[in-house]
């Protein structure tokens, strides 16, 4: 059901510093920051030959990333994102298997402009999983 790894998301307190570190120290191709107010984050993508790294910085006090950083002061891996061919079919299959879809269960548009869903970390070895329609 899952396809390729789309990205690994890392929560950061300072997206500019994280971008500079990857750009200057690792020589990475780093996008410009983009605010995603509907998700409460500012995002940057580090483009790699086989996938991406996504930096997430809180956008506002009610951001889920702000809450994550309260518990993980140095930041860290927030979630992994896998591509699926049909997000509705994937959601229905996962729910039938007992997996919990976060929110109301309906896909939302993610940072790449494609439908996404998040799966409860307690159902996936403590890892928050994002599914994105390919």
By annotation, the residues acting in catalysis are 130
Query: Of 42, 41, 44, 11, which Cα lies nearest the Cα of 30?
Result: 44
Closest CA to 132 of 70, 15, 39, 40: 39
Count of CB atoms situated within 10 Å of the CB of 100: 14
Does residue 37 sit in helix, strand or coil? Answer: coil
Neighbouring residues of 20: CB distance < 8 A, sequence distance ≥ 6: none
In whole angstroms, what is the distance from residue 27 CA to residue 88 CA? 38
């Amino acid at each position: 059901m899952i396809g390729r790894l789309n990205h690994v998301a890392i929560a950061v307190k300072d997206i500019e510093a994280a971008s500079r570190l990857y750009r200057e120290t690792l020589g990475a191709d780093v996008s410009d920051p983009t605010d995603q107010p509907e998700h409460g984050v500012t995002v940057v993508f580090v483009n790699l030959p086989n996938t991406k790294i996504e930096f997430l910085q809180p956008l506002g006090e009610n951001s889920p990333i702000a809450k994550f950083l309260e518990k993980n002061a140095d930041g860290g891996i927030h979630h992994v994102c896998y591509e699926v061919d049909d997000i509705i079919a994937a959601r229905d299959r996962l729910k039938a298997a007992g997996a919990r879809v976060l929110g109301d269960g309906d896909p939302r548009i993610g940072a790449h402009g494609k439908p996404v869903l998040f799966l409860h970390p307690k159902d996936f070895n403590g890892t928050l999983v994002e599914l994105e329609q390919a």
